[in-house]
Homo-oligomer: A and B are copies of this chain.
Amino acid sequence: MEETPEKLERLNVPALDEILGKAFKVLDDGFVRLVDYMGSDSSIVQAARVSYGKGTKKIHEDRGLIRYLIRHRHSTPFEMCELKLHVRVPMDTWRQWIRHRMANVNEYSTRYSVAIDSSQTTSESEWRLQSGGNRQGSEGYFPIEQGRLLSEAEKKFHDDAVKLYQDRLELGVAREQARKDLPLSTYTEAYWKVDLHNLLHFLALRMDDHAQLEIRNFAKTIGNEIVSKWCPLAWEAFLDYRVNASGLTRIEKEIITAFNKQGKEKAIQKAIEFGLLNEDLTQAKKSRERDELEEKFEDLGFTIPWK
């Protein structure tokens, strides 16, 4: 580690400096706003080279090294970059957000101050139907006429909630108690600081189709508007090796390998052994694992041996 220059400049990322302070709007009244950052793609490389010492020097160029690190799930060099955001989020979304423990948070206090006078409202075209297949998801939208009624009821309820809260404050009820019936749709604000490794983990989970639409919108804004400019090489590798990658389980691997090396019959036999099919080849039994396998095979253009 000969390179320890006695004079350093701070690392700046000009594309980020341009958006410092800019509020990227999310939902009807939320935002994500970059406050500060530490590091960049080159800090990831720098940290990796401390770990690996002279060994790596010049062998890989930066892009190759960063891609290698993400492909092989090396996490510590990505912890060397840090991002600080100012966000405005409905409390309902914040309940999911705050579950990511490896971050630093200062949230607006409604004990100390009067709550933010804004709730997330749902326009007539945004009301979503309960998904049948996925117990925790939604699927499709209500027709506008029904949506209008839902939005009107929501509006009335928000007005009532604001009035209840203000009445309490005017009477002198303590803020910490007056807030007890604020709807979860009430906006809150926070400073949120996180390292790139934990941020990518957050984004992998929250940009995913299974994440709720609201937090997904925040995650996509953070990813597309900020991280993509901050660390473009890490971002590209993250998309290739995490977001748009998928896994093959031991069972899927063995079925594919059997099919390729020994033929269809052997692959079917494997599937029976693994309990994915009945002995008589009917699929009568419900198997979420088989459903996932078949979907994956179809996406990849494979013949499903038993179909």
Chain A 56-97 interface mask (CB, 8 Å, partner B; 1/0): 100000001001100100001101101010100011100100
Name the distance in Å between A122's Cβ and chain B's nearest Cβ: 7
A168 at interface, CB cutoff 8 A: yes
Name the distance in Å between A47's Cβ and chain B's nearest Cβ: 4
A68 to B215, CA, bound (A): 23
Instruction: In the complex, identify which listed stretch (A177-185, A217-225, A226-234) lies at the interface while the others stay far away.
Output: A177-185
CB pair A51–B106 under 8 Å, yes or no, is yes
A122 to B174, CA, bound (A): 13
State how many copies of this chain the complex holds: 4
> What residues of B have a CB within 8 angstroms of the CB of A180 in the complex?
90, 92, 120, 122, 183-185
> What residues of B have a CB within 8 angstroms of the CB of A51 in the complex?
106-109, 112
A249 to B1, CA, bound (A): 33
Interface residues on A, range: 35 or more
Q: List 29 A-B contacts (CB under 8 A).
A: A4-B21, A4-B23, A7-B20, A7-B21, A10-B20, A36-B38, A36-B43, A46-B191, A50-B107, A50-B108, A52-B109, A71-B289, A76-B104, A76-B105, A77-B106, A80-B106, A80-B191, A98-B98, A127-B173, A127-B177, A130-B173, A131-B174, A138-B174, A180-B184, A183-B183, A244-B249, A247-B248, A248-B300, A261-B301
Interface pairs A-B: 6 shortest CB-CB = A260-B301, A53-B113, A8-B21, A138-B174, A244-B250, A79-B104
